[in-house]
């Protein structure tokens, strides 16, 4: 081996590792350090105004109702949005996988299309579709005799409206992954179940679901992580309102950091989000392992 | 489900229903963008323009600087794609096929770092770029898109299938490492390069939070940042906003339609556990 050959691994991997270290790993560590300071607009102007405050930012956040409101809203969005999204993805994947379906590639493309669209742009579309007076959705409700809903103006339905939008936008992604999982289930399993006299619902419960379990778990973990990062949807559709009913953790971090320039406190928010996500992922893995579905 | 076929009427009916729900907002967007100003606020809301017009597009490009936003988005997405390919393809290949000390440990660490949400790095990164004078610049927007763990992972998974014997044979023939990379590895990786390229382009084009933080002046805005700002300013002007949405969404929709095969393959490859 020539010296160049021995060094080639580092030469090829080096640029990416340097970039990741400088622009990702270093900032992540710095975020924790920053969260222990009172970095604010005065420190932004003159760094000598910066003071180390220990865990004060965290203590202060825990004492602020708006932090709990943002956390609660985010947990609501994740808790209702993730199962609903995956249920719709599973339903769509089962339809596409069915022998009875025609034009599969066409339907697959149509159902996937919302995934590649720009979230800000389609959120603007939905804001009009959900409009109380001029929106198509209320026109449809009223045409069948149902009352109009103030989708984005009523704090009780604003989050469900955003969940509805998120499901529409995202279900195609997991649909593709679940569809691949369905295609990988061997026919013999269904054959054996049929011979045992299982009807279609029983086949679904005893063959399809257990075979899909690892994949459903995987898309669950990925979708949960993604949904915790809710930001653009409320920013565009509701500006976090009404009465902070759609203020998410990231939205709170954004306002704390880039509206009020409390960068120390905002870093603490970011770190708490990270810790919460880590905890939720750990619980998901533990539950899955206990059920024995994970090799 | 396999076996006795389900009722085709039910299955296809449900598929048509779902497809209508998925596509209706996009159809409505195009339709309203062609309506006369104010027409979308009629009661009941019209589905098709009574007298189609391009006036909203003319207003959009004439009055809001949409041409500039489009150019910003395009320059950034193309640059982000090029940078992402350079950093991630070289590293993905190294982690798959080159031997160096600590390789597997570093790779495991990188995978573990996938659990860290990107937003954690944003505030220090903002301060860092401020020191470097990169706030409100293209470069500032591009910095976090250069290398990413997911891209390295994607390329590595694909590069594992490149036969090592082929590389060894070239080495025995005296070919240098750069030459081997350019003439053997890159051609073999072409499908995953296309896949990663689409991912990088779409991610940059659709990105919102980071450009919103880094870009200060109106003439630096990307399409999503501009659309978000315009939609607050022109709330009543549904026709204008839908023209803006069309200009933002259609390019990526067509890109996806043209390269769908590569995109979906990458999606599946990326979801396989390492």
Residue of B nearest to A191 (CA): B3
Domain ranges of chain B: 8-53, 64-271
Contact assignment for B206 to A99 by CB distance below 8 Å = no
Residue of A nearest to B255 (CA): A116
Contact assignment for A30 to B273 by CB distance below 8 Å = no
Burial B179-206 (b: 16+ CB within 10 A, else e): ebbeebbeebbeebbbbbbbbbbbbbbb
The DSSP code for A37 is B
Give the per-residue pLDDT at A293.
Answer: 54
Q: How far is B246 from chain A (nearest CA, A)?
A: 8
Please report residues of B whose CB lies closer than 8 A to that of A225: 115, 117
Contact assignment for B11 to A8 by CB distance below 8 Å = no
Q: How far is A121 from chain B (nearest CA, A)?
A: 5
Of B177, B231, B253, the CB nearest to A116: B253
- Please write the tens of the pLDDT for every residue from B68-104: 999 999 999 999 999 999 999 999 999 999 988 889 9
Cα–Cα distance, B59 to B64 (Å, whole number): 8
| Model confidence at B123: pLDDT above 50 | yes
- CATH fold of B64-271, please? MetI-like fold (1.10.3720)
Q: How far is B155 from chain A (nearest CA, A)?
A: 12
Residue of A nearest to B167 (CA): A5
Q: A-B interface: how many C-beta pairs under 8 angstroms?
A: 291
Of B1, B90, B253, the CB nearest to A113: B253
Give the per-residue pLDDT at B43.
Answer: 78
- Please write the tens of the pLDDT for every residue from B205-262: 999 999 999 999 999 999 999 999 999 988 889 999 999 999 999 999 999 999 998 8
Residue of A nearest to B234 (CA): A124
| Model confidence at B1: pLDDT above 60 | no
Cα–Cα distance, B147 to A20 (Å, whole number): 6
Residue of B nearest to A271 (CA): B120
Please report residues of A whose CB lies closer than 8 A to that of B202: 116
First to last CA, chain B: 29
Contact assignment for B1 to A180 by CB distance below 8 Å = no
pLDDT, average across residues B123-143:
96
Chain A, 26 to 65: residues with Cβ < 8 Å from chain B are 26-28, 30-31, 34
Q: Which residue has 């006795």 as its token pair?
A: B4
Beta-carbon contacts of B252 under 8 Å, excluding residues fewer than 6 positions away, are: A116, A117, A118, B201, B202, B205, B206
- In 3D, which of A257, A108, A242, A87 has the Cα closest to residue A176? A108
| Model confidence at B107: pLDDT above 80 | yes
Of A10, A92, A232, the CB nearest to B100: A10
Contact assignment for B271 to A274 by CB distance below 8 Å = no
- In 3D, which of B127, B211, B134, B136 has the Cα closest to residue A35? B127
pLDDT in tens, chain A (295 residues): 667 667 889 999 999 999 999 999 999 999 999 999 999 988 888 888 889 999 999 999 999 999 999 999 999 999 999 999 999 999 999 999 988 888 899 999 999 999 999 999 999 999 999 998 889 999 999 999 999 999 999 999 999 999 999 999 999 999 999 999 999 999 889 889 989 988 888 888 989 999 999 999 999 999 999 999 999 999 999 999 899 999 999 999 999 999 999 999 999 999 999 999 999 999 999 988 887 655 4
Give the per-residue pLDDT at B7.
Answer: 85
Give the per-residue pLDDT at B158.
Answer: 92
- Please write the tens of the pLDDT for every residue from B21-46: 999 999 999 999 999 998 988 877 88
Give the per-residue pLDDT at B269.
Answer: 81
Q: How far is A106 from chain B (nearest CA, A)?
A: 10
- In 3D, which of B220, B143, B65, B12 has the Cα closest to residue A104? B12
Q: Which residue has 């990458």 as its token pair?
A: B266
Beta-carbon contacts of A291 under 8 Å, excluding residues fewer than 6 positions away, are: A213
ipTM value for the complex: 0.92
Residues in chain A: 295
Cα–Cα distance, B206 to B196 (Å, whole number): 15
Chain A, 94 to 123: residues with Cβ < 8 Å from chain B are 94-102, 107, 109-114, 116-122
Please report residues of B whose CB lies closer than 8 A to that of A78: none
Please report residues of A whose CB lies closer than 8 A to that of B108: none
- In 3D, which of B35, B150, B143, B128 has the Cα closest to residue A29? B128
Name the β-bridge partners of A70: none
Contact assignment for A24 to B144 by CB distance below 8 Å = yes
> Using CA atoms in the order A203, A207, A209, A214, what is the torsion angle rounded to 10 degrees?
-170
Of A94, A119, A271, the CB nearest to B120: A271
Q: How far is B195 from chain A (nearest CA, A)?
A: 14
Q: Are A240 and A77 in contact (CB under 8 A)?
A: no
A64-290 maps to which CATH number?
1.10.3720.10
Name the β-bridge partners of A52: A37
Give the per-residue pLDDT at B116.
Answer: 92
Q: Which residue has 């933002």 as its token pair?
A: B248
Please report residues of A whose CB lies closer than 8 A to that of B26: 113-114, 117, 122, 125
Of B177, B228, B271, the CB nearest to A235: B228
Q: How far is A279 from chain B (nearest CA, A)?
A: 11
Sign of the four-CA dihedral A291, B2, B5, B6: positive
Give the per-residue pLDDT at B2.
Answer: 45
């Amino acid at each position: 081996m020539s010296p160049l050959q021995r060094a080639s691994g580092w030469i090829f991997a080096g640029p990416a590792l340097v970039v990741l270290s400088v622009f990702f790993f270093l900032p992540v560590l710095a975020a924790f350090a920053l969260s222990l300071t009172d970095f604010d607009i005065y420190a932004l102007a003159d760094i000598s105004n910066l003071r180390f405050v220990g865990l004060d930012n965290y203590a202060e956040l825990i004492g602020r109702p708006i932090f709990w409101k943002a956390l609660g809203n985010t947990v609501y969005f994740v808790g209702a949005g993730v199962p609903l999204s995956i249920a719709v993805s599973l339903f769509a994947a089962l339809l596409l996988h069915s022998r009875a379906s025609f034009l599969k590639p066409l339907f697959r493309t149509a159902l996937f299309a919302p995934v590649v669209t720009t979230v800000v742009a389609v959120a603007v579309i939905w804001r009009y579709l959900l409009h109380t007076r001029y929106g198509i959705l209320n026109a449809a409700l009223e045409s069948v005799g149902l009352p109009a809903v103030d989708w984005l103006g009523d704090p009780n339905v604003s989050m469900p409206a955003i969940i509805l939008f998120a499901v529409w936008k995202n279900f195609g992604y997991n649909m593709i992954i679940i569809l691949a999982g369905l295609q990988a289930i061997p026919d013999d399993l269904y054959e054996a179940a049929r011979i045992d006299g299982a009807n279609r619902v029983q086949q679904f419960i005893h063959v399809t679901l257990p075979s899909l379990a690892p994949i459903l778990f995987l898309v669950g973990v990925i979708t949960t992580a993604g949904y915790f990062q809710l930001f653009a949807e409320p920013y565009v559709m509701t500006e976090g309102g009404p009465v902070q009913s759609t203020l998410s953790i990231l939205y709170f971090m954004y306002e704390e950091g880039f509206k009020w320039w409390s960068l120390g406190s905002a870093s603490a928010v970011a770190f708490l989000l990270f810790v919460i996500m880590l905890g939720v992922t750990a619980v998901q893995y533990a539950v899955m392992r206990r059920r024995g579905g994970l090799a | 489900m396999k076996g006795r076929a389900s009722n085709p009427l039910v299955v296809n009916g449900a598929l048509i229903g779902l497809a209508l729900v998925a596509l209706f907002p996009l159809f409505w967007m195009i339709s309203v963008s062609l309506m006369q100003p104010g027409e979308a606020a009629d009661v009941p809301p019209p589905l098709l323009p009574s007298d189609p017009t391009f006036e909203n597009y003319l207003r959009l490009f004439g009055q809001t600087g949409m041409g500039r936003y489009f150019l910003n988005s395009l320059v950034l997405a193309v640059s982000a794609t090029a940078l992402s390919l350079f950093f991630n393809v070289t590293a993905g290949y190294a982690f798959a096929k080159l031997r160096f000390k600590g390789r597997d440990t570093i790779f495991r660490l990188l995978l573990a770092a996938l659990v860290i949400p990107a937003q954690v790095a944003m505030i220090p990164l903002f301060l860092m770029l401020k020191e470097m004078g990169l706030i409100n610049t293209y470069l500032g927007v591009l910095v976090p898109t250069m290398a990413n763990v997911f891209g390295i992972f994607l390329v590595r998974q694909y590069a594992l299938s490149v036969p090592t014997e082929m590389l060894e044979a070239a080495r025995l023939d005296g070919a240098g490492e750069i030459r081997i990379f350019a003439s053997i590895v890159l051609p073999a990786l072409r499908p995953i390069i296309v896949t990663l390229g689409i991912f990088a382009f779409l991610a940059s084009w659709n990105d919102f939070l980071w450009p919103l933080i880094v870009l200060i002046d109106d003439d630096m805005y990307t399409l999503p940042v501009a659309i978000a700002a315009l939609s607050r300013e022109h709330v009543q002007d549904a026709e204008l906003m839908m023209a803006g949405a069309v200009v933002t969404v259609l390019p990526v929709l067509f890109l996806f339609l043209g390269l769908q095969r590569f995109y979906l393959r990458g999606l599946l490859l990326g979801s396989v556990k390492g």
